[in-house]
Structure 1
Amino acid sequence: MRLQALAPLAAAASAVPVGVGVAAAAAAAAAAAAALALRKKELRPTVQGESTSWNSAILSLCPTLTAPYRLAAGLSNGHVETIFAAWFRKKPHVRYDREVVHMPDGGCVALDTEDLPQAKQLPEDAPVLILLPGLTGGSEDSYVQHAVVHAREAGIRAVVFNSRGTSESPVQTAQFYSASFTEDMRNVVAHVRNRYPRSLLFAAGWSLGANIMTRYLGEEKERTPISAAVAMCNPFNLPLSDANFHRGFNKIYDWNLARSLNSIYKQHHHMFEKEAATPGGRPYRADLALKAKTIREFDDAITRVAFGWPSVDAYYAGSSSSLSIPDVRIPLLIIQAADDPIAPKEAIPFEAIQANPRCLLVLTPTGGHLGWCGGPGGTTGAPWTDAAVAEYFTAARQLLAQPEFAEAAAAARARHPLGAPAEPVGVWTQGETTHQAP
């Protein structure tokens, strides 16, 4: 879930009853910006996971996951760090090649890869990392752009998966969502695998993108061609995370994200209105979606209808990736912040993660949501997670070439051999363009 467009926070303070004043939080973020050179706190992540040979090797090859990091004292608050990152994080302004991919049901997604000069282009068989942004996020977001750059510097080609309607991905029908929570993910993975048949496939997601990715991994189990994955700030338990949205200052995030959803939806409202009025069409509540003040209200009017759930509560309960952790069959690194106001610590399925030998949880004491401002690039540079994730996939690439772990990689290749028809029926490239991220 992205947190752009937070400028209206102060204006909204009088309209939304919250426990912490919006103006005070905005002032705290500004004060933190002015005090970056002041004293810093040293913090250390904690790690949970079974002591497998893979996890032990990863921890030895990825010192960032356990090493202390330093953060400006003024930012060691989940709300402040979340807002600060959204307002002040610098962007590398990545130039992208965009591929619009047509889904079998008529919907479209946009896949963005970095547009590089010949001298910087990666080998054809370089590993490929599929990136899944948050709820309304996309290629233009600062945290996504930094991840693309860090991946390339590690010799990994990043492919940003922009969901339907996000990052100006075209919407041509009322198929704003696929048939299931993970269907587009399944088609995109197959499409990327088909396009880069000699490459190792990795995946990483943030927030709702992490939830979708984890659900996909649980559904696919051993069938996935992805060799390793990273989930960051995953809300995990959607009913619990929804309830958390309605507490105190968190209502501001709920309002802002609903506002972002509305800004996308309004461009396509007429399609949903027409679909709802068509005999046998999905019973979207199009007018209610226009008035939605919370994510829950929007999901009740549009999302759960698209997926065929009888209620929004049933949709949240059935789509929670905490249910999928026991079924994950590839190495999954999970990075969460203990003070995340949107993906609360209470939603993390600690017992299920500990019981699955393929999972490894790294919990940072701070970070907020999509914040992690204690990175090596400074408080306004890339998130702390960027270095950790690049280090993790570099280590995974190394380990998968070793005899002890190569069997799993060979099994994945055997399930998807070169020359096999990996492209799903009905998936095709609709068009390709180049664009500059803001």
Structure 2
Amino acid sequence: MNAMLETPELPAVFDGVKLAAVAAVLYVIVRCLNLKSPTAPPDLYFQDSGLSRFLLKSCPLLTKEYIPPLIWGKSGHIQTALYGKMGRVRSPHPYGHRKFIIMADGATSTFDLFEPSAEHCVGDDVTMVICPGIANHSEKQYIRTFVDYAQKNGYRCAVLNHLGALPNIELTSPRMFTYGCTWEFGAMVNYIKKTYPLTQLVVVGFSLGGNIVCKYLGETQANQEKVLCCVSVCQGYSALRAQETFMQWDQCRRFYNFLMADNMKKIILSHRQALFGDHVKKPQCLEDTDLSRLYTATSLMQIDDNVMRKFHGYNSLKEYYEEESCMRYLHRIYVPLMLVNAADDPLVHESLLTIPKSLSEKRENVMFVLPLHGGHLGFFEGSVLFPEPLTWMDKLVVEYANAICQWERNKLQCSDAEQMEAELQSPISLGDLDLTSHRQRGHRHAHLSQAGVLAKQKQKQKQKRILSRQECQELKRSRDRHQQSNGYEVAVAEAAVATAVAVVKQEQQATFQSCSTGKAESNSSDLTMPFWWPPKAHQCGGYHLPIWAFAAQAGGAKLWPPRLSSLFKCKV
């Protein structure tokens, strides 16, 4: 009976095959998910300067580890796929207003405006002007998530809707967005500057939008007015160099190229009547045969060559890519610039990353941030499986913007402090004093005019600004040493000087009547000397009496240590 219930033993070879199959599956999973890759802080490329040191202290995300979700977060393909298909997790719905701008060629540009929901960290009016990625708009989930987070940090947000990207907005001219056209973005920025004249701008671009914002800033110096900083995330920098890598199967880049080209074809064909209709005044180089070539296109380069470049009259694809790429404009940007890419981005080849690396080695205002993981606009964070709604990218951009705003505030405080220090050390001239007789005013003190020193001092007090310990520490120590050595406040010193000048100018005879040797000589050049510097002495009873000695007697202020003030008494 027991013999009948026994099962035949499997040969050892079959067990080996099963183990080999399991090992192969595990190897593929480990390789595809990149589970062996370590987590580390992002690689930073920058020049050592005051700005870079301040950013390292003020932006903890630049020096902390970026930790993606454990199971799938280290795969750039999965990060990119999740961004492309679902955008973000539990994306909010910020409330905004849609604005319409009619361009010079008749095109209707739109952007959405979102007001801040909290006070800014430095109390200033700051607007983020945002340019999304290719064929994206303000209704995309990753844009909504970022806008909501920026609003909660006190930023007004203006998000450009790429021309032709919104399905419910018809084209009003035979043109749609291209790789590097800055017309619509420039119109949005000009609207913000005119509507909010006191606001300052933080320029943000994602993917293709990063190319547009960098090109816009580098086109003219006037475009950088009122701009605090610029942030570009996951752009490719040079379309001419990227076109070769997009046709390679390495990292499945050719497959991504096909998917993006298919999406672009759908958008173009949805505006077929506005772009290729018989009643439309099309560009001279755009022909009906280009529409048939569009149907058979399988890459972005074919679409750009047959349709997109002809919107702006370029003669060749090479000319189009050279002129529309931001690489030739990056060196003209003088505001703080942060360029962010992921090392595992399947769309941006590693050879393209030499462009921001080289730029950061030459320019002090440029910082290049390169984390190991993140994919293309992914940068999800999480513990094991499920990602968090807010990504590392969203936090970094806002944190960098906050640091730049604080940096500019500190610079302004330091410049005001230096100006105040210069005013305190500068001579006091007659133009700052009101030498009206005390008999006309009814009391015995010289007064400062409203346009004089007191008015300047009150203006400085109204600003209520405190020196930054980090940026102005040396200046503060110098000022403290100056106050300790003299033993009085600045306002008291200026009032004492005014009293001394009035006494010397108008009442010398009365002041010197107790002296046995007669009147002291008056020298008008003494009135322009610094108040802590002894001017030319006046002979009185065998003692040398400088002007500030009489200020100590007449005004009651101690302008010098008491041990020395006893020397200033006149001998009767």
1:216-257 C-alpha deviation (Å, 9 max, x unpaired): 111123542222110000110212222222122112211221
Alignment match, 2:392: 384
Question: Any stretches of 5+ residues in structure 2 without a counterpart?
Answer: 1-24, 416-572
1:22-421 paired onto structure 2 within 5 Å: 42-71=39-68, 72-88=70-86, 89-90=88-89, 91-114=91-114, 120=117, 126-168=125-167, 169-177=169-177, 181-221=181-221, 223-225=223-225, 226-248=227-249, 249-274=252-277, 281-284=284-287, 285-348=290-353, 349=355, 350-374=357-381, 379-403=387-411
What code does the residue aligned with 2:379 have?
Answer: W
- 8 Å CA contact 1:208–1:234 kept in 2: the answer is yes
Local SS of the residue matching 1:217: helix
Query: Aligned in 2, Cα 1:307/1:403: closer, same or farther, shift over 3 Å?
Result: same
How does the TM-score come out when normalised to structure 2? Answer: 0.60
Deviation at 1:380, TM superposition (A): 4.5
Alignment match, 1:21: none
Query: Aligned in 2, Cα 1:366/1:102: closer, same or farther, shift over 3 Å?
Result: same
Query: Aligned in 2, Cα 1:54/1:121: closer, same or farther, shift over 3 Å?
Result: closer
- 8 Å CA contact 1:152–1:158 kept in 2: the answer is yes
1:337-364 C-alpha deviation (Å, 9 max, x unpaired): 1111112231121212321111111111
- 8 Å CA contact 1:109–1:165 kept in 2: the answer is no
Structure number with the higher strand fraction is 1
Distance 2:220 2:413 in 1: 20
Query: Aligned in 2, Cα 1:271/1:304: closer, same or farther, shift over 3 Å?
Result: same
Question: Any stretches of 5+ residues in structure 1 without a counterpart?
Answer: 1-23, 33-37, 408-438
What code does the residue aligned with 1:268 have?
Answer: H
1:162-192 C-alpha deviation (Å, 9 max, x unpaired): 1101133431120224897222222221111
- 8 Å CA contact 1:45–1:364 kept in 2: the answer is yes
What code does the residue aligned with 1:327 have?
Answer: R
Distance 1:281 1:40 in 2: 53
Deviation at 1:322, TM superposition (A): 2.0
Bigger mean CA deviation after superposition, 330-339 or 81-90: 81-90
Aligned CA RMSD, in angstroms, stands at 3.1
1:334-392 C-alpha deviation (Å, 9 max, x unpaired): 11111111122311212123211111111111111111113799625222111111111
Local SS of the residue matching 1:98: strand
Query: Aligned in 2, Cα 1:273/1:327: closer, same or farther, shift over 3 Å?
Result: same
- 8 Å CA contact 1:97–1:115 kept in 2: the answer is no
Distance 1:109 1:405 in 2: 39
Local SS of the residue matching 2:157: strand
Query: Aligned in 2, Cα 1:381/1:327: closer, same or farther, shift over 3 Å?
Result: same
- 8 Å CA contact 2:234–2:376 kept in 1: the answer is yes
Local SS of the residue matching 2:166: helix
- 8 Å CA contact 1:325–1:356 kept in 2: the answer is no
Distance 1:110 1:158 in 2: 14
- 8 Å CA contact 1:164–1:170 kept in 2: the answer is no
Distance 2:81 2:315 in 1: 35
Distance 1:82 1:405 in 2: 43
Alignment match, 1:11: none
Deviation at 1:111, TM superposition (A): 0.9
1:117-171 C-alpha deviation (Å, 9 max, x unpaired): xxx4769963100111111111122221111011111111111111101133431
- 8 Å CA contact 1:179–1:307 kept in 2: the answer is no
What code does the residue aligned with 2:327 have?
Answer: S
- 8 Å CA contact 1:222–1:330 kept in 2: the answer is no
Distance 1:179 1:239 in 2: 11
Distance 1:260 1:341 in 2: 18
Distance 1:405 1:166 in 2: 44
Query: Aligned in 2, Cα 1:170/1:126: closer, same or farther, shift over 3 Å?
Result: farther
Distance 1:41 1:177 in 2: 40
Local SS of the residue matching 2:220: helix
What code does the residue aligned with 1:232 have?
Answer: V
- 8 Å CA contact 1:300–1:311 kept in 2: the answer is yes
Local SS of the residue matching 2:275: helix
Deviation at 1:299, TM superposition (A): 0.8
What code does the residue aligned with 2:158 have?
Answer: V
Bigger mean CA deviation after superposition, 208-217 or 64-73: 64-73
What code does the residue aligned with 1:150 have?
Answer: Y
Deviation at 1:289, TM superposition (A): 2.5
Distance 2:136 2:414 in 1: 35
Distance 1:376 1:398 in 2: 32
Local SS of the residue matching 1:362: strand
- 8 Å CA contact 2:180–2:324 kept in 1: the answer is no
Distance 1:215 1:395 in 2: 24
- 8 Å CA contact 2:118–2:153 kept in 1: the answer is no
1:366-423 C-alpha deviation (Å, 9 max, x unpaired): 111111113799625222111111111111111111236988xxxxxxxxxxxxxxxx
Distance 2:181 2:207 in 1: 14
Distance 2:414 2:193 in 1: 19
Query: Aligned in 2, Cα 1:299/1:380: closer, same or farther, shift over 3 Å?
Result: farther
Distance 1:241 1:405 in 2: 44
Query: Aligned in 2, Cα 1:227/1:376: closer, same or farther, shift over 3 Å?
Result: farther
Distance 1:334 1:176 in 2: 27
Query: Aligned in 2, Cα 1:208/1:73: closer, same or farther, shift over 3 Å?
Result: same
Deviation at 1:43, TM superposition (A): 2.4
Local SS of the residue matching 2:264: helix
Q: Over alpha carbons, which structure has the higher Rg?
A: 2
